[in-house]
Structure 1
Amino acid sequence: MKKRLAMLFSLSLITSSFLAACSYGNDSADATTGGKKVLNIVEPSEIPTMDSGKAKDAASSLPLRNTMEGLYRVGEGDKIVDGMAEGEPTVSPDGLTYTFKIRDAKWSNGDTVTANDFEYAWKRAIDPATKSQYSFIMFDLKNAKKASKGEVGVDQVGVKALDEKTLEIQLEKPVPYFKNLLTFYTFLPVNKKAVEEHGDKYGTTADTLVFNGPFTMSEWKTTSYKLVKNDTYWDKDVVKLDEVNTQIIKEVSTAVNLYETNELDFARLTSEHVANYKEHAEFAVRQDPSVFYLRFNQKNDVLKNEKARKAIDLSYNKQGIAETILNNGSVPAKFFVPQNFAKDENGKDFRSLNGDLWTGTTEDAKKLWAEAKKELGKDTMKLEFLTSDTESAKKIAEFIKGDLEKNLAGLTVDIKQVPFKQKLDLEAKSDYQMTMVGWGPDYQDPMTFLDMFVKGHTQNNFNYDNPAYDELIKKAQNSNDNAERWAAMAEAEKMLDAEAVISPIYQRSTAYILKDKVKNLYMHAVGGEFSYKWVDLK
């Protein structure tokens, strides 16, 4: 979504120019007298798509999480709870075949949700014609990888509706995190009638969509969108909110001002705003397993040089970014797989296997840069630095540019700031030199951070190609021994550091203010950040 949700993130700050939602102050009074219960929040970026087969980012994953429902969904404390699956699946002794029963549920257009909706959606996402950048997350399904390459037809993929209420899934190998994986948005069902009616326009406007989750999308604009309670949802009695109004707001100060006037119920904070609110009763901080980092496109003459990449990584102050620019609990990242994310059966954090990587000094950077210039036969170089147009992205990019130009003699960095959707498109086309990216997990396993560096992976738009790395990932993917899996993945992470394939910047935390009246707003480590299903206003 994506990391999870890939999830590819825009930086976690908030964006827009105006607020269209009604004042929560009025709705709050009505909430206790039979009126509407309305939650007003902000998000950092516009939604690129609501087509679960084409989504590839955090901005899309949040509304998808709350308007759609797969076999499972994520609940309180990131526990997996039932969605369209009714009861536990039947699993074959070899762990390769799962059989699910689909509960009695309706789409928002009145159609019955069936096993066919899952088969259609999954095969559509895998079909090369769909051009899904997230088809890779389904490669555990039998023949899915081959079908995505056109080597076999999608009819050979291991998902089949045995009847309207029975879904059979066949895997290539046992997958220890399979249940968790099924909460991800690429595994959502899709209403075939809606897709066929709207064609390429499906998922681009609210009126092209059909929903089976707790909410439907009634409005979708560039600067805002509105979700309303779905009266056809099977578990509608649990849903207390009538509406969720989401504004796309770029400046933190704008969001804070709206929060103070009771027009917003939630706002993220950074820098000086954290200092202003840290003693406030409604202030909180949560760390999440999202890592922000620099990607180096190795098609570029400078960035294909390993010493140049290492010099860049060591020449800017990551601690200054985390503690001064963000000041929200984020920590400098000397790793790629985040801390406090994946633990083995004994509770041991994956991070303990490698500890800190990506270490060195500014003097090391200068020495490496001098060697890189000699190898490249250049004394002056220019790099274009792609970022999104959020407030924090601008500040961090300018900070990194300043350090690079100060410490790496002869280097000029040109910052290219574009809207989030345009940035995703440029990255997908490998049309960039250096870019700042956030990656959040799609499922709770280190593999969700490491497999994207394999040659041919849809997320490998930075042209990294190392057969030894690919072999380590293959070994981890094909092993049923968790210790062996982790050892292979730890070795792979070391390789990313040794070759400076990327430059980790920070592991994100979110400092925020949330109105006391908002209860049960569950925040998640995987997939869309929030669940609105259980929210109530008191």
Structure 2
Amino acid sequence: MKLKWSLLLALGLLLSVFLVACGGGDDASEGTEDSGNKEKTEDSASEGEEASGEQVLNLLNGDTIPTMDASMATDQYAFEFLGATMEGLYRLGEDGKPVEGIANKHEVSDDGKTWTFTLREDAKWSNGDPVTAHDFVYAWQRAVNPDTGSEYGPYMMGGVIKNATAVNGGDKPVEELGVKADGDYTLVVELENPTPYFESLTTFGTFLPLNQKFVEEQGDKYATSTDTLLSNGPFILSDWESTSSSWNLTKNEDYWDAETVSLDKITYEVVKDPQTAVDLYEAGTVDRAGLSSDLVDQYSTHEDYIVNPQTSVFYLKMNQTRNEALANTNIRAAISRAFDKQALVDQILNNGSLVANGLVPANFTPMPESGEDFREVSGDLVTYDLEKAKEYWKKGLEELGTDSVELEFLAGDSETAKQMNEYLANQLQTNLDGLKVTLKQVPFEQRLDLDTNMDYDIQFSGWGPDFLDPYTFLNLWITDGGNNKMGYSNKEYDKLLEEAQTTLATDNPARYQNFLEAEKVLFEDAAIAPVYQKASAQLLRQGVEGIIVNPFGPDYEYKWASVSK
């Protein structure tokens, strides 16, 4: 999921891909979370909640919500609020495990390719319409229909749902997508190949249902404001338009499991500056605040201070099509080794983040047979090494026939992001003779557009997983993949991942061996330069309980949250 890294940083590493894979974040104060654990505190709630008697949680968000259209969402903020207001076949519970959503059970065929979901009959849209299997068929077809222009539809469904790639390529009609309604409350899904992680995949935002009649009635206005949205999840998004800097989530009384939902309202205000967020927290105005590195030292002994490890990884993307120098493997290898990552996580982030020397994060997924952590088995694939960086740089310049290189560094515009960007640019220019780096610092939505159009040289980016499998990270760099916006291509890499999803689909130990080999190929090519694995430091009001921090998908789950008095 694309992560709002500028905010993440500003939040002290909060969230949202850059690209998708899911993991996200929701507020500038909130810039932090933990992986799949509930946040719990004790004592009293905010003054506003006590006075009204309502269950109210007051939060901050690092930016506006780019879209509430599930077919068009690609970033952490969109998936965060889609997750709160919508519900798919399943939703994430504690420890990242799928729990009942609109589906209350499913069966899988012996060959693993046909999944039959039984839907509950008491689920309703916020306009009173029943949620049916037809809503899933329409939504999934819409997501892969080339006329829709969805980025995540073909990315998430291609190679998974039968005929998804052919439909998106215009080679087959949308009706041939492998999803059918057998009556109103039975959904039959055909897969291209057995997919071990498919149940967890159904919790992701791209697979949410849509009410066809409502969507088509709204036309181009769909999902641009509260009035042009429908909900079928625990909350309803209110007081929102696409440019809103504040909005609310209110309890959806028509939600099938409304009795479980304790919170009456969650308020949001866009705040990008960590100091402002902390000031609001100290004043009792908000219940959570993400901490930047300078604030960690000040608040590390505070009774509300917590540090949450995460599964999102950040790295430098190097566009091999826009700048001749970055098409050179030695130049990329030099850049990958020319900045001190340990100093960055210790001094700039200062929030428990870890140095990343590979792509798949630590403590994310174990090897199938030994149970060892994938990251530990794969090892350090690229480390800070100034001597080697200079050697690669010299070779690269000789191959290019030049003694200098100019690169534009696409960057976020928050205060903490600026510190990160300036540090990295300075490290690269100082350590690589003849390199000039020009920073281009822009708002998140603009950066998304520039990335989509591959209009950048180097970009600081991050990915949060969309499901519990190494493939959620490694498939980013498949040739011409939907998220491969940097021109990387390696036939061996593609083959290893294709085998993992096809001929080896039912042999998990063999799949993981292919993943190990693919990750090594990625770094032999110096395709990306890993920087760090996110953690977040924050202040969380005592009395707030039951918030689940997801290891993938929406950053936070509030269905089971409450505020004690």
TM value normalised by structure 1: 0.95
Q: Secondary structure at the match of 1:430?
A: coil
Alignment partners' CA distance in 2, 1:25 and 1:80: 31
Of 225, 248, 269, which aligns to 2:291?
269
Task: Determine the structure 2 residue equivalent to 1:90.
Answer: 107
Task: Determine the structure 2 residue equivalent to 1:530.
Answer: 556
Asked if the contact 1:2–1:526 (Cα under 8 Å) also holds between the matched residues in 2, the reply is no
Alignment of 1:386-425 (within 5 A): 386-425=410-449
Q: Secondary structure at the match of 1:406?
A: helix
By how many angstroms is 1:224 displaced?
A: 2.0
Alignment partners' CA distance in 2, 1:94 and 1:470: 25
Task: Determine the structure 1 residue equivalent to 2:357.
Answer: 334
**RMSD of equivalent CA atoms:** 1.7
Asked if the contact 2:411–2:421 (Cα under 8 Å) also holds between the matched residues in 1, the reply is yes
Task: String of CA shifts for 1:149-195, please: whole Å, max 9, x gaps.
Answer: 11111111110111111111111111111111111000000111221
Alignment of 1:58-457 (within 5 A): 58-86=76-104, 88-103=105-120, 104-135=122-153, 136-139=155-158, 140-220=160-240, 221-299=243-321, 300-346=323-369, 347-457=371-481
Alignment of 1:487-506 (within 5 A): 487-506=513-532
Alignment of 1:38-49 (within 5 A): 38-49=56-67
What letter is aligned with 2:20?
M
Alignment partners' CA distance in 1, 2:129 and 2:304: 42
By how many angstroms is 1:9 displaced?
A: 8.0
Alignment partners' CA distance in 1, 2:545 and 2:389: 49
1:507 aligns with 2:507: no
Task: String of CA shifts for 1:359-384, please: whole Å, max 9, x gaps.
Answer: 35112112211221111122222111
What letter is aligned with 1:497?
F
Task: String of CA shifts for 1:176-218, please: whole Å, max 9, x gaps.
Answer: 1111111100000011122101222212222211010000011
Asked if the contact 1:228–1:244 (Cα under 8 Å) also holds between the matched residues in 2, the reply is yes
Task: String of CA shifts for 1:501-528, please: whole Å, max 9, x gaps.
Answer: 0001000001111111101011111111
Q: Secondary structure at the match of 1:343?
A: coil
Alignment partners' CA distance in 2, 1:106 and 1:497: 48
By how many angstroms is 1:409 displaced?
A: 1.2
Task: Determine the structure 2 residue equivalent to 1:19.
Answer: none
What letter is aligned with 1:209?
L
Asked if the contact 1:46–1:421 (Cα under 8 Å) also holds between the matched residues in 2, the reply is no
Asked if the contact 1:13–1:250 (Cα under 8 Å) also holds between the matched residues in 2, the reply is no
Q: Secondary structure at the match of 1:246?
A: strand
By how many angstroms is 1:25 displaced?
A: 3.9
By how many angstroms is 1:15 displaced?
A: 4.3
What letter is aligned with 2:132?
T
What letter is aligned with 1:233?
Y
Task: String of CA shifts for 1:234-291, please: whole Å, max 9, x gaps.
Answer: 0001111111112221111110110001111011112121112222221111111100
Alignment partners' CA distance in 1, 2:540 and 2:146: 43
What letter is aligned with 1:120?
Y
Q: Secondary structure at the match of 1:112?
A: coil
Q: Secondary structure at the match of 1:312?
A: helix
Of 488, 493, 499, which aligns to 1:475?
499
Asked if the contact 1:44–1:249 (Cα under 8 Å) also holds between the matched residues in 2, the reply is yes
1:37 aligns with 2:55: yes
Alignment partners' CA distance in 2, 1:11 and 1:345: 27
Task: String of CA shifts for 1:399-421, please: whole Å, max 9, x gaps.
Answer: 01111111111111111111111
Q: Secondary structure at the match of 2:327?
A: coil
Asked if the contact 2:23–2:312 (Cα under 8 Å) also holds between the matched residues in 1, the reply is no
Asked if the contact 1:383–1:413 (Cα under 8 Å) also holds between the matched residues in 2, the reply is yes
Alignment partners' CA distance in 2, 1:187 and 1:360: 40
Asked if the contact 1:15–1:390 (Cα under 8 Å) also holds between the matched residues in 2, the reply is no
Alignment partners' CA distance in 1, 2:61 and 2:96: 21
Q: Of the two structures, which has the highest relative contact order with CA contacts closer than 8 Å and spacing of 6 or more?
A: 2
Change (3 A) 1:11 1:408: farther
Asked if the contact 1:13–1:391 (Cα under 8 Å) also holds between the matched residues in 2, the reply is no
Q: Unpaired runs of 5+ in structure 1? A: 17-23
Alignment partners' CA distance in 2, 1:137 and 1:30: 45
Alignment partners' CA distance in 1, 2:439 and 2:246: 27
Change (3 A) 1:53 1:9: closer
Q: Secondary structure at the match of 2:59?
A: strand
By how many angstroms is 1:226 displaced?
A: 1.1
Asked if the contact 2:26–2:60 (Cα under 8 Å) also holds between the matched residues in 1, the reply is no
Alignment partners' CA distance in 1, 2:142 and 2:287: 38
Asked if the contact 2:25–2:77 (Cα under 8 Å) also holds between the matched residues in 1, the reply is no
Alignment partners' CA distance in 2, 1:229 and 1:10: 23
Task: String of CA shifts for 1:17-68, please: whole Å, max 9, x gaps.
Answer: xxxxxxx84323236xxx3221111222321110001101111111011000
Asked if the contact 2:21–2:465 (Cα under 8 Å) also holds between the matched residues in 1, the reply is no
Task: String of CA shifts for 1:443-491, please: whole Å, max 9, x gaps.
Answer: 0000000011111211011001111111111111111211110111111
Asked if the contact 2:178–2:190 (Cα under 8 Å) also holds between the matched residues in 1, the reply is yes
Alignment partners' CA distance in 2, 1:12 and 1:519: 18
Alignment of 1:6-45 (within 5 A): 6-7=19-20, 15=28, 25-30=46-51, 35-45=53-63
Alignment partners' CA distance in 1, 2:320 and 2:443: 24
By how many angstroms is 1:10 displaced?
A: 10
Alignment of 1:49-64 (within 5 A): 49-64=67-82
Asked if the contact 2:357–2:383 (Cα under 8 Å) also holds between the matched residues in 1, the reply is yes
Asked if the contact 2:60–2:271 (Cα under 8 Å) also holds between the matched residues in 1, the reply is yes
Q: Secondary structure at the match of 1:257?
A: helix
Alignment partners' CA distance in 2, 1:402 and 1:318: 13
Q: Unpaired runs of 5+ in structure 2? A: 4-15, 30-44
Q: Secondary structure at the match of 2:403?
A: coil
